[in-house]
Amino acid sequence: MDRRLHSLSPKPEFAVRSCLVFDREQLAVPNVKSSRGIGIGFACRDAQSSKNRPKPKSVDVERDLIGVGAGPANLSLASLLTTARERGLTSISATFFECEATVFWHSLQMFPGSLMQTEFYRDLVTPIDPTSKFSFLNYLKAQARLDQFFCSSTIYPTRREFEDYFRWVAGQIGEVIFGVDVNSVDYDVKKNLFVVDAETHGRCVTKHIVFGSGARPKSGVEVSQPDRIVDVSRLLAFTFPKTLNRILVVGGGQSAAECLSYLLDRFSERPVRIDWVTGDTSFRALDTSNFSRETFSTAYAQMFSSLNSETREKINQDDKAAVNGMTPLYAQALYQRLYRLLHFPPPDKAYPVVHVQANTEVVETREEPAGVSVTVHIVSTAETEVVVYDCVILCTGLDDESILESSIIGPELRRRLHKNQDRDGYAVSWDGPPDRMIFVQSQNKATHGLGDTSFVTAAGRNAAILNSISGREIYKIDESDLLVALK
Ligand SMILES: Cc1cc2nc3c(=O)[nH]c(=O)nc-3n(C[C@H](O)[C@H](O)[C@H](O)COP(=O)(O)OP(=O)(O)OC[C@H]3O[C@@H](n4cnc5c(N)ncnc54)[C@H](O)[C@@H]3O)c2cc1C
C-alpha cells in the first residue's frame, strides 16, 4: 500500500460493537441482513407510521395487474397503461402499491447538482411512445420552462429534476397508491389468482403481478446503521462523527465519485484526510460512446434475449463499461479538482487531503471505540493492512439478489417458481397457468442485457409486458431499430 497510508495494527482488546466482513470477489458484501425480512428494496421511511394506521377489513378486490413498488420502472408501466386505456386500446385494471409517502428516487444520495447518467429523452415513455403526455418534455411544458431547458443546452438534467418529473407523473395516476407496504405475494390455487397482502390497504387479488421493488445496497448497511459506517445511498441522512480526521470512501463508480466531491465541498476548510479506494485495477469512466448506447435500446434487449445463456453471460461480462463507471465529464472535472487541491492548495486555510488508490479490497470493517478498524488487501502487493478511520462510506453498488428469492414470496408461489432464470419474453417461468403472469422490473440482466437495471429500458420492457398480458400488440416494438447486430 502507498506509504502515505499509515498502517496500524489491529487492537483486539477493543470491544467490538459491529463488524462487517466483506467478500473479496464482490469487494464488499457485509453480513448484515435487512430488518424488513424481505431482503430487498429499501426500508420505507414511513414504514413505522404506516404500521400504526388501522388495518382495513380484508376485501378481495380483484385487479388484472398489481404492481409492487412505484419507482421509475413501475411508474413507466402505469404511464403506458393509462395512455393505452385512454386511447381505448385496453381495459386492463391495475393498482400500484408504493411503501414510501411519495416517489423517492435515491433521494438520500441526491448530492447538490448530481446529474442524470442517461439522456432526458430516454424517459418513462418516449422510447416507446413519443406522443405520450407523460414525457419529460411535457413535464417541462407543464412547469412553463420548456424553452429555458432548451437554452440550457444539456441532455443530462439534474437527478433532482428527474425525481420531480417522476412525482409529477405519479401525481396524475390515481392507481398509484403511496404509503402501502406489500408484505407478501402468494398464489391461490382455488381462485387461480395472486393474493397480495397490501398492509393498510388490505388483501387484494390479481391475475398478474409486476414486482418493481428495486434493489437494496450490496453493503446492507442501510438498516443496521452503525455510527461510523454508512452506505452512500443514505449519506444525506448520516450524522458524521464529531471527530473527523480520516474518512474512507470505498468503490470506484459514479456514486463514489459524487460522494468524494460532496465531501470536498462539505469539509472544504477542514484538514481531513480522505482515502478513496477501489478493488478494481483503476477508476474507470463509463463508456458513453454511440455504439455502446444501444445497450439501452428496446431492440437490443429483444435481440439479447434470443441468444444462448453462455453468450449472454459473456456479453454481460465484457460490456460492463456500458453501465458501470463515472460519466467521462464528471471524471474529468473530479480529476482536475484533485490535481488543483494537491498542487495548488488554498494558501491561508485548512483543506482536505485526498489519497486515491486502486487494487485495494476492503476485507473487513470493525467498529471500535477509537474508530472503524478496516482490513484492506492490496491486490498488487498481496499485503494485508489494518487502518483506523473515523468514518467509512461504502459506495459498492446495488445487490443482484432477486425479489423472487426473498421472503415477500409466499410458500405456494415459491414452490411453483422455476429455479432457472428463464423468461418467456419478460414473463417469469413458473408452474402455473399461462394466463397468470409474473414480471420483475430491473432484474432481467441475465436474460435481457446490462441495460435492464437502468430505468431507461423500462418503457420497452413495459410495452412488452402489456403486449404479453393482453395477448396482442398494444404498443409497437421496433425490433430492428438497432445498428449493431448481435448475431
Ligand atoms: C444514484 C443512482 C443514480 C442512477 N441514475 C440513473 C440514471 O441516470 N438513469 C438510469 O436509467 N438509471 C439510473 N440508476 C439506476 C436505477 O436503478 C434506476 O434508475 C431505477 O431506480 C430503477 O427503478 P426501479 O423502479 O426498478 O427501482 P427503484 O427506483 O428502487 O424503486 C423501487 C420502489 O419500490 C418500493 N418498494 C420496495 N419494496 C416494496 C414493498 N414491499 N411494497 C411497496 N413498495 C415497495 C421502494 O420504496 C421504491 O420506491 C441510478 C441508480 C442510482 C443508485
Question: What is the CATH classification number for the domain harbouring 246?
Answer: 3.50.50.60
* Ligand 1 in reach of 251 Cβ (< 6 A): no
Task: Note whether residue 399 is domain-resident.
Answer: no
Give the model's confidence band at 139: pLDDT under 50 very low, under 70 low, under 90 confident, else very high: very high
Task: Note whether residue 250 is domain-resident.
Answer: yes
Looking at the structure, tell me whether residues 58 and 170 fall in a common domain: yes
* Ligand 1 in reach of 97 Cβ (< 6 A): yes
What are the pLDDT digits (tens) for 325-375?
999 999 999 999 999 999 999 999 999 999 999 999 999 999 999 999 999
Distance in angstroms between the alpha carbons of the first and the last residue of the chain: 44
With a cut of 60, say whether residue 393 has pLDDT above it.
Answer: yes
Looking at the structure, tell me whether residues 30 and 91 fall in a common domain: no
Q: How close is the Cα of 162 to the center of ligand 1, in Å?
A: 12
Look at the chain and report how many structural domains it folds into. Answer: 2
Rounded CA-CA distance 94/208 in Å is 9
Looking at the structure, tell me whether residues 202 and 254 fall in a common domain: no
Question: Would you call 371 helix, strand, or coil by DSSP?
Answer: strand
Q: Contact, 95 vs 175, CB < 8 A?
A: yes
Looking at the structure, tell me whether residues 61 and 158 fall in a common domain: yes
Top mutation candidate among 38, 99, 122, 444 for ligand 1, by most atoms within 8 Å of CB: 99
Looking at the structure, tell me whether residues 429 and 370 fall in a common domain: no
- Give DSSP secondary structure letters for 313-370: HHHHHHTGGGTSSB-HHHHHHHHHHHHHHHHS--SSS---EEEEESSEEEEEEEEETT
Q: How close is the Cα of 486 to the center of ligand 1, in Å?
A: 28
**Helix or strand run (H / E) with residue 75:** helix 72-86
Alpha helices, H only, 207-297? 221-224, 254-266, 290-293
| Beta strand residue intervals within 10-60, DSSP E | 18-21
Top mutation candidate among 115, 394, 455, 465 for ligand 1, by most atoms within 8 Å of CB: 455
With a cut of 90, say whether residue 431 has pLDDT above it.
Answer: yes
Q: How close is the Cα of 349 to the center of ligand 1, in Å?
A: 41
Looking at the structure, tell me whether residues 255 and 387 fall in a common domain: yes
Q: Name which of 174-188, 303-317, 393-407 the model is least confident about.
A: 393-407
Q: Span 271-288, mean pLDDT? A: 97
Task: Note whether residue 310 is domain-resident.
Answer: no
Looking at the structure, tell me whether residues 185 and 171 fall in a common domain: yes
Q: Which atom of ligand 1 is nearest to the CA of 254?
A: 1
Looking at the structure, tell me whether residues 134 and 231 fall in a common domain: no
Distances (CA, A) of 339 to 260, 342, 344, 353, 471: 14, 5, 8, 11, 58
Q: Span 316-328, mean pLDDT? A: 96
Q: How close is the Cα of 70 to the center of ligand 1, in Å?
A: 9
* Ligand 1 in reach of 394 Cβ (< 6 A): no
| Summary mean pLDDT of the chain | 88
The reported pLDDT for the residue numbered 132 is 98
Looking at the structure, tell me whether residues 236 and 198 fall in a common domain: no
Looking at the structure, tell me whether residues 186 and 199 fall in a common domain: yes
Q: How close is the Cα of 399 to the center of ligand 1, in Å?
A: 12
* Ligand 1 in reach of 182 Cβ (< 6 A): yes
Phi-psi region of 192 (alpha: psi -120 to 50; beta: other; left: phi over 0): left
* Ligand 1 in reach of 179 Cβ (< 6 A): no
Looking at the structure, tell me whether residues 338 and 248 fall in a common domain: yes
Cell numbers given for 231 = 452506505
Residue 64 structural domain: 47-214+417-470
